[in-house]
Structure 1
Amino acid sequence: MRSHPEILWAQRADKVYLTIDLTHAKDIAVKCEPHGSFNFSAVGANDETFDFSLELYGTILPEGCKTQMGLRNILCTVQKEEKSWWKRLLKSNEKPAPYIKVDWNRWCDEDEELANSVDNDDLKYTSDDEGSSGDDGMLYLPDLEKVRGN
């Protein structure tokens, strides 16, 4: 039986994130093809060779695929050709292999992405008193010693 590293995935409208759980990997090679083919190969910590191919749900931009290597895993960012939400990661309707799982730490629903797409620099704290206090929006808490009469 051939072993596979665990693959966690999440998506946004414009990209797919693939986190490959492979400790101290070396000789990492990633190849993305426009029709949605994602090919990975690497040598693990015990000189074990790992290689796999995924036929992704939609088409991708190979020049927009990036890889970041860490000690414990490899993060691959795959650029979608069109901004859209995929129904699933793989083209096949079959249940994905047990080593392919959702990355709940990176997961974002379509409606959450729209809400989070607001530029945070435009968000400013506003208070009900129109900024008349000098405490810059700090919440006023009474001195408990004075309230108790001590």
Structure 2
Amino acid sequence: MSRHPEVKWAQRLDKVYITVQLADSKNAKVDLTPDGIFTFSGSAGAEDHQYELKLELFDKVNVEESKINVGERSIFIVVQKAEDGWWKRLLRGEGKTPHYVKVDWDKWVDEDEDEGNTGEVDLGGMDFSKFGGMGDAMDDIDESDDEEQEVSKPVEQDAGEGSTEKKEAAPST
């Protein structure tokens, strides 16, 4: 009986990254067809368990421009898309994605971030201006000076040193 290896994927406008996670794989065979059929087979583990995989990718691919690297811990494939564009999902079918196929968040880039790298710090795609006025509150904090912050710190006072604040009495037992 064959097993399915874990597969991680991410995409860019022009390519899809697929990582088959299978440490110490032996006899790894990878095939990619122009109509987007990706197949993998190989064995791994002390007992040489057989692993097989067949994925029908969302759209057509350019096999000649795609690259495959078989490493010690994984098989990494850069699949060149036949036409630039964002795929709605990795697989062609409308059904649920198999449990062994997961998004590779380490390689993932959102569609609006892929236009060009501006050299800015990556905030994980979060737009802080849309947090219901929190952007304005953050601006206020940035503009405040150290004196104002020191004044706003709570000050501990003893009740016997002329404090004008009322302190709650400890409950009597």
Q: Separation in 2 of the partners of 1:44 and 1:63?
A: 28
Q: What residue in structure 2 maps to residue 16 of structure 1?
A: 16
Give the CA deviation at 1:2: 4.7
Q: What residue in structure 2 maps to residue 26 of structure 1?
A: 26
Q: What residue in structure 1 maps to residue 67 of structure 2?
A: 66
Give the CA deviation at 1:10: 0.3
Q: What is the SS of the residue equivalent to 1:111?
A: helix
Equivalences for residues 1-150 of structure 1 within 5 A:
2-46=2-46, 47-116=48-117
Q: What residue in structure 2 maps to residue 126 of structure 1?
A: none
Q: Separation in 1 of the partners of 2:33 and 2:45?
A: 28
Q: Given that residues 2 and 49 in structure 2 are in contact (C-alpha distance below 8 angstroms), is that contact kept between their aligned partners in structure 1?
A: no
User: Which letter does structure 2 place at the counterpart of 1:53?
Assistant: K
Q: Given that residues 15 and 79 in structure 2 are in contact (C-alpha distance below 8 angstroms), is that contact kept between their aligned partners in structure 1?
A: yes
Larger Rg: 2
Q: Separation in 2 of the partners of 1:41 and 1:62?
A: 18
Q: Separation in 1 of the partners of 2:14 and 2:29?
A: 23
Q: Given that residues 5 and 53 in structure 2 are in contact (C-alpha distance below 8 angstroms), is that contact kept between their aligned partners in structure 1?
A: no
Q: So what's the TM-score if we normalise by structure 1?
A: 0.74
Q: Separation in 2 of the partners of 1:30 and 1:71?
A: 15
Q: Separation in 2 of the partners of 1:41 and 1:66?
A: 17
Q: What is the SS of the residue equivalent to 1:3?
A: coil
Which ranges of structure 2 fall in alignment gaps of 5 or more residues? Answer: 120-173
Q: Separation in 1 of the partners of 2:30 and 2:63?
A: 10
Q: Separation in 2 of the partners of 1:79 and 1:12?
A: 10
Q: What is the SS of the residue equivalent to 2:77?
A: strand
Q: Which 4+ runs in 1 deviate beyond 2 A?
A: none
Q: So what's the TM-score if we normalise by structure 2?
A: 0.64
Q: Given that residues 41 and 51 in structure 2 are in contact (C-alpha distance below 8 angstroms), is that contact kept between their aligned partners in structure 1?
A: yes
Q: Separation in 2 of the partners of 1:76 and 1:42?
A: 15
* Between 37-46 and 84-93, the greater mean CA deviation after superposition: 37-46
Q: Given that residues 5 and 52 in structure 2 are in contact (C-alpha distance below 8 angstroms), is that contact kept between their aligned partners in structure 1?
A: no
